[in-house]
Structure 1
């Protein structure tokens, strides 16, 4: 009668010992690891459609002459995750082999410990890889989410009801076709060197009746009574802007700098707008000249190449939105090269281009390049620009938007790449 309780107590102690050993292995396995990892530089590239050329087109914000490598993420494990002590038997385990019941306990202990160690090694290895490459995984998941969201947005836009508004009337017989708008606000565009000026139309349902690539002619008087007039492209935050108003993007530089970037007439109008026109003042406007035209012989146009500098991205953005949808044009591939002197000038507007990329990643390629084109003899001297612009193929049209000095260099660069002059359009 006394042997029964002793045996039960011994079995209880053995089971307790087994639990302690198993839990000790499991706890030790999740202590801080001795492995080290190295994470190599990562770059995000949004290459767009494949092209027949040796250089790839990437979305990048880089300094001139610096080649941006493709994404490369590697993890190297320098030391074992688990030390060898997890695989050696202790003295207590050997001592239990003297009796049958302890042999059974030892077998069970070995099996459980082996499973515990193997499971721990797998979990620890997986956890290490996840921790070491968490930033890469986050980037991949983020890009995948944006691509999926872009596809959904593209489908949604097909069925979305758009308030097209009422075309604002302009009577050529009355006032030479001029109408009236009112300055609503002046606002800096993010951290960039650009200001956005918003103007209200006479009626909240009015929209400007503009063709693709058409400018707005605007006119005002300065405090001296002199007329200031300029032609500008409207800046739209979406493919379907709301009726009742429109926005123009202007540089914030000095009058001399603005003369170089938007021309003398545009700079004079901007100076009057900044110094003499107050919020609530009226300004004359009417539909301006149409700048977009193709005079080449290779029809239909299947490829578009855009080179923009500064505020030249404004009409390019509108045209990209217009030609990318599958049923809107014959264009199957679009390349955009946007050049600014400072990286902060890509603020906000680059996000609008990025949204279009995630909707049409198989058709659109975008390169954002930091460079001062005024200091270069040739636009092709910048390796990033040279790599981003494909060689000419029949059916390709090139569009240049930016300061006149940059436009001349861009024309020479494109002609050297095989583009006939009649396939190049300057906005």
Structure 2
């Protein structure tokens, strides 16, 4: 391993250490911060509705000042899947370390992996709380702190989004590509519009996400040209991206993360009223209760209660969620519309995917790369060759996030510094 890669690994380790250095010392976010004004003030997508500073929970003990960053929670206008205005929240970290690359300091929009569907799971709340726990099983820790603090250690400003309905009113629109992509792009607009902020039109922007976050930034980068063409997006790291929900649904069922399919069903049910009659007709009374319970949970509780179960337990006739996608015409149309890969990103993309990912199949990530290459995008597709380890227990999905991070950090640093991007499209 060369010196540069060892340096990146050390940076990742620093981020992880910072993420656990001082948990639980900050005061919780005020509940009323997340209550959006009704109606929303007039304005444009990305306008800041409210913002407030707070001392970051995760910091080096006994360190004077906001190191490695200060923090603000922000509420901003975004757009839901149907084009209507909605309030969304995020946390903005302004790095106190110098930017390690060339050119002006960049901003990275970090779309988090799956947190849950209950409002208590919102990343901006967890960054403030440190740890959330309500007996017996309602537990959450903001694991994205590792990625956020790794980026901050390179001098990049970072804004971590909460997604629509996570913390704020309404159902969290889990894996809805348009709602999530809008939230990513509007977060960058919001940081640019903060009074007295240091991110402007000349500052480069990177999009970063893994798992659910990988899908969110993949959607954002392919819609950026039409939705937010003014943003100076230089590159996107999309790891473990659920680009096609059909194979993902089949892969999750019966494994430790089976309950996450409940988040997706709840999201579709809430955001697409035309699907409700079909879904209601397919669910058993017990299945309806499961989905109602899941809508209030964070990932650890959902895994504890519903991991290693089959979604066929939720339905009247024993069909699984994956089978119902094909059997219910309105649901099928909504799921098919969620597929990512139909528009070319205008900035480079790095896709990192585990060969034996037990949640997000490798083949659908390959297809995403092929689709974008065919449309003329610059794509660097990288496979993490990790052997199968406890299939169905999320290990195959989680490990590539860690092993791929040094490469992703090198790649993103180069893009934000203006270095031309490599491409595997010709291969």
Task: Report TM bin, short chain.
Answer: under 0.3
TM-score, structure 2 length as denominator? Answer: 0.26
In the superposition, the TM-score normalised over structure 1's length comes to 0.26
